Every structure is written in structure tokens, then in C-alpha cells.
Amino acid sequence: ECERAKAAAAIKCDVLLALQQHDRAAQVAGDFLRDDDMCVPLLVVRGEALARQGNVDNAVRHLHKALQLDPDNARARRSYKRVKGVEQRKRDGNAAFAAHDYARAVALYDEALAMDKEMAPVLAQLFSNKAAALMKLGKYAAALTACNAALDIDDKYLKALKRRAAVHTALDEHQQAVYDYEAALKLAGDDDRELRRALRDAKAALKRAARKDYYKILGVGKDATSTDIKKAYRRAALEHHPDKAEEAERDAATKRFQDVQEAWSVLSDAQKRAKYDAGQDLEEIEQGGAAGHHGAHHMDPNDIFQAFFQQQGGGGFGGGLFGKKTFSKQPKPSVKMKMLAWDKIPNGKAPKTIFQKENMLTKAERDETIAFDYRDIEQHFMRKPLPSVS
């Protein structure tokens, strides 16, 4: 009678395992084993139930005892080999990670994952550990996939949630990082200082990402010196000036030109640049009242452009080339004459006379004035100060 009850209990436990009720299966088998811990079928089924709960060490003990009692039990041997193999590869992977051999760690975690599909808590740990190793290798997209797999198994796995938030940050997916840190903080509790700090950082990164990247607009790094920024602005302002654009592209060029002026107005001011680097947006920067420039979005970009090149010793541009709101396709003739006069004064005439009298230029010289391009501006107006003309 007792043997039939144990056999029935073993069958019941198998059904519970099939229904994913691992806790219940372990409990039923445990109740009988308290009276008789020599029942091999119950030792095996309880060992498998414990393994699926993630209680690997206890599972190994049950399966090992079952094999000691019945060395020929095929089910006990298969389960013992599988559970032991998964745990060993996990440990080896952790050791490889600690030794900074991240590629080997990933390979070992993959081997463990391929050996079993039922040990859910262990599988979640393996995916999370694999993600950590992939992050060290700079493979953030693959790391995100591994984190997702871990959280598909256990959506309350705190370590995987924090790790996925870090992956999102590395991928510049700041909104998703904020979501994950908020979820992690909810699980861990509001007293977790580390998570609160990480959440603040993620929100700051999200805010920064929503701003215009002034460094990128000017084509410089964040460690650029004031001289680097000045040179970059000079180049970008000339390159993106609307006067250079075809009619169909004039609006887009005007927008790029405005962005260049806005970038210059912030990065050329030490106080504004420091606030920008700290994560403030343009509105916050200008509310601080930093001296040196008027608010970038309240100032005509052409005024910024004019002021810059006047400060570089190039003299005023008047209402002609690049003058305020004069986005004409070609510069005025008088400016063309200035360009030629500075480069080549015919017959030794004084520049002032040439500026005033166009007919003193030969036909070849007039043709030459029409052929100049914007590179001449950099050569003559920025590297060679133009004499003032009364």
C-alpha cells in the first residue's frame, strides 16, 4: 500500500512539473521523503523540481542520492548530468568574466543555455551574465537582446532591469533607460541611493539628447578650445550661408545657418558653454543672464555673423555681401571690386580710387571679379584686413 502511494505521488509530481507548478511538485515529493528518503522516483522528481526553481545545489544533492541508490536509473543520470553541466558552465563563465576574457564567458554562457530550457531562474541569470559580458565587448545591441531574454523569463529580475537600463544609455536610448530605472527603483524601494542617482543621470541624459548638439553643428569635439571653436564657426558660417544655396535649398540653408549662429553664441561664451555642458538647454542658459552675448534666439543670425567678422579685422560688410537680411545670390559689384583691389591694384592706383571708379578696371580684371568664390572671402576678409574706405 505504501509503495503504491509513493508511486502515485511520483506520478502526481510529474503532472505538476508539466503544469509548471514546480513549488507544488517539490512540496508533494518532500512530504513523502520526510517519511522515506530512500524512494528513488521521488528523489528524482523533487531534484528536477528544485532545479527548475533555481535551487541548483539542493537539486544536485537529491539527484546524486538517487544515483547512489540506483546507479542504473536513466532519468536520474540524465537530470544529474544536465543540471550539473549547466551549473559548471555558469561557474566557468563567471570565472572567465572575472579574468576579463569576455568572449570566452559569452561562449560558456551560451553552452549552458543550450543544455537546458526548464531551469528558468538559472536561465535568466545566464542571459543577464551574458549581457554583462557583451557590454564589456561593446556589443550593446546583442546585450540588449540578452537582457530582454532574461526579463522575458522574469520581469522582476532587478539586476537584469538595471543592466538593460545601462545598455539603453549606451545606445543613446535615454527614454527607455528612464523607464527601466523607474521600474527598478519601484522594485528596489525609494531608499536605493544608487538607483536614484542613476535615474537622475538618465533623465539628465534624456534632456541633453533633446537639445541641439552645438559641438556637432560646428564640427568640433567637446574638448575643443576657444580657438578651435572660433575657427570652426568661421568655416561653418561661410559654408552654410544662405547666399551660397540654390533657390530651392535656401530655406534649409537658412535653418542650418541659424543653427551655426546659435551654436556660436553659446560655445563662444565660457559661462554659457559651462551651463550647456552641464545639461541646460538654451532657455535655461539664457535665463541665467550670462554676459557677453544677447539671447541667441532673440538675435538676428546675420547680426552675429557681421559682428564676428568685424571683430576679426575684416571691416564692415555694409548692406552687401552677407549683410543683414540680404541673402542675394551674388555679392554687390562694389564688394567684388574690393576683393580684386586688395589682391591686385592695377597701374599702382590707390585702393580708394579703385573702389570709387569701376570703369578704371580693365575688362580682364572685371571678368576676374565675377569669377571669385567664397574661399576668397576667407583669404581676404579674415586673413588680410581690408583697408577702410571713406
pLDDT at 300: 53
What CA–CA distance (Å, rounded) separates 206 from 178? Answer: 8
Contacts of 199 (CB under 8 A, 6+ apart): 178, 181, 182, 185
Radius of gyration of the chain (CA): 37
Grid coordinates given for 347: 597701374
Picking from 168, 195, 169, 166, the residue whose alpha carbon sits closest to that of residue 182 is 195
Whether 250 and 242 have beta carbons less than 8 Å apart is answered as yes
For residues 83 and 63, give the distance between their C-alpha atoms in angstroms, rounded to a whole number. Answer: 9
CA angle (5 as vertex; 3, 10 as ends), nearest 5: 95
Q: The cell 531562474 sits on which residue?
A: 121
One pLDDT digit (tens) per residue for the chain, 390 residues: 568 888 999 999 999 999 999 999 999 999 999 988 999 999 999 999 999 999 999 999 999 999 999 999 999 999 999 999 999 999 999 999 999 999 999 999 999 999 999 999 999 999 999 999 999 999 999 999 999 999 999 999 999 999 999 999 999 999 999 999 999 999 998 889 999 999 999 998 888 888 888 999 999 999 999 999 999 999 988 888 888 778 888 888 889 899 999 999 999 999 999 988 887 877 777 775 544 444 444 555 555 555 554 455 444 333 334 444 434 344 444 444 444 444 444 444 444 433 434 444 455 554 444 333 434 444 444 444 444 443
**Of 279, 138, 114, which is closest to residue 127 (Cα–Cα)?**
114
Question: Which grid coordinates are listed for 157?
Answer: 529580475
Rounded Cα–Cα distance for residues 85 and 116 (Å): 9
* Cα–Cα distances in angstroms (integers) from residue 33 to residues 6, 213, 317, in the given order: 9, 67, 97
Contact 119, 54 (CB under 8 A): yes
Listed in sequence order, the residues at least 6 apart from 369 whose beta carbon sits closer than 8 Å to its beta carbon are 333, 336, 337, 339, 340, 361
pLDDT at 351: 44
d(CA 157, CA 162): 9
pTM assigned to the model? 0.64
Would you state the cell numbers that stand for residue 134, as one nine-digit string?
A: 557583451
Distance CA 293, CA 304 (A): 9
Q: Give the 3-state DSSP-derived string for the chain, with helices as H, strands as E and coil as C.
A: CHHHHHHHHHHHHHHHHHCCCHHHHHHHHHHHHHHCCCCHHHHHHHHHHHHHCCCHHHHHHHHHHHHHHCCCCHHHHHHHHHHHHHHHHHHHHHHHHHCCCHHHHHHHHHHHHHHCCCCHHHHHHHHHHHHHHHHHCCCHHHHHHHHHHHHHHCCCCHHHHHHHHHHHHHCCCHHHHHHHHHHHHHHHCCCCHHHHHHHHHHHHHHHHHHCCCHHHHHCCCCCCCHHHHHHHHHHHHHHCCHHHCCHHHHHHHHHHHHHHHHHHHHHCCHHHHHHHHCCCCHHHHHHCCCCCCCCHHHCCHHHHHHHHHHHHHHCCCCCCCCCCCCCCCCCCHHHHHHHHHHHCCHHHCCHHHHHHCHHHCCHHHHHHHHCCCHHHHHHHHHCCCCCCCC
- In this predicted structure, what is the pLDDT of residue 275? 87
